[in-house]
C-alpha cells in the first residue's frame, strides 16, 4: 500500500531508499520500531525527522517540503 506512494515520491525527485527489514535485520533493530517507518536524513546521514505508518503522497510531500 505505501510502496507505490514512495515510488511516486522518488520519481518526483526526492531521494528514497527502501530497506527490506527481513533482509537487513541489523538495520531494522537499530532504526525501525514499526513498519513502515520513514526517516528523513540530511546529506551527512543525520536524522532530521521520522514518521511511522503509511501516509498519502500529499502528506509525505508536505513533511519533506
Q: How many domains does the chain have?
A: 1
What pLDDT sits at residue 31? 84
What pLDDT sits at residue 63? 81
What pLDDT sits at residue 28? 84
**CA distances (Å), 31 to each of 8, 11, 16, 51, in order?**
24, 25, 16, 12
What pLDDT sits at residue 33? 81
User: Could you list the residue range(s) of the whole structural domain that residue 43 is in?
Assistant: 3-64
Q: What is the pLDDT along the chain (65 residues), one digit of tens a residue?
A: 888 999 999 999 888 888 888 999 998 888 888 889 989 888 898 998 888 999 999 998 888 76
Q: Which residues of 12-30 are buried (b: 16+ CB within 10 A; e: fewer)?
A: eeeeeeeeeeeeeeeebee
Hey, what's the cell of 1? 500500500
Alpha-carbon torsion 56, 1, 53, 41, what sign? negative
Q: Could you tell me the CATH number of the domain that includes residue 50?
A: 3.40.30.10
Q: What is this structure's pTM?
A: 0.68
Amino acid at each position: 500500500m505505501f510502496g507505490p506512494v514512495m515510488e511516486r515520491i522518488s520519481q518526483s525527485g526526492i531521494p528514497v531508499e527502501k530497506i527490506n527489514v527481513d533482509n537487513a535485520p541489523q538495520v531494522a533493530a537499530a532504526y525501525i520500531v514499526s513498519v513502515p517507518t520513514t526517516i528523513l536524513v540530511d546529506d551527512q546521514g543525520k536524522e532530521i525527522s521520522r514518521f511511522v505508518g503509511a501516509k498519502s503522497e500529499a502528506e509525505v510531500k508536505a513533511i519533506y517540503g
